[in-house]
Amino acid sequence: MIMHKCELKDLEALREISIETFSDTFAADNTPEDLKTYLDRAYNKEQLLTELKNPNSFFYFIYMDGNLAGYLKLNTGLAQTEEMGAESLEVERIYVRTAFKRRGLGKKLIDFAIETARELNKQAIWLGVWEHNDKALAFYKSLGFEQTGAHSFFMGDDEQTDFVMTKRLGD
């Protein structure tokens, strides 16, 4: 497994894996119209370019056996999607391609996020998880995350609830 920090030249690969993995994860639970609206807004080239240029956001690809297997987006400071304070790091996106699931890549990505948070002297790491994504909720709980709140997530016109899951980082 190899981690690679995304650069501007990775824009198209980032866009492709973002659309693919988000669709694979959520298409069955949403209308095609709501999914398309979300994908067009969140993963258009201009939006991703803005995110890649943000000095408080960081994208990383994870490769397995030379193949792009997934990615991670981390936010600090004002790039966080909720006001969680300067001592927190957000995992905004963590996705693994279907062919690479159940190989430990999700844990590797979370471990990398925790390591990054510690390097940046953060006291907590947090993320939002759709309230109906039972597998993800169980995964994060198994890693020591606890539900500390909730916020709205809009899939097109459909308002959904994400649970805010937080893990305090000890010494």
Residues acting as catalytic residues: 140
What b/e string do you get for 31-65 counting C-beta neighbours within 10 Å, with b at 16 or more? eeebbebbbeeebeeeebeebbeeeebbbbbbebe
Helix (H, G, I), strand (E, B) or coil at 140: helix
Q: Look at residues 82, 116, 88 and name the one whose alpha carbon lies nearest to residue 5.
A: 116
Q: Where are the alpha helices (DSSP H) in 27-144?
A: 32-42, 45-53, 105-119, 134-142
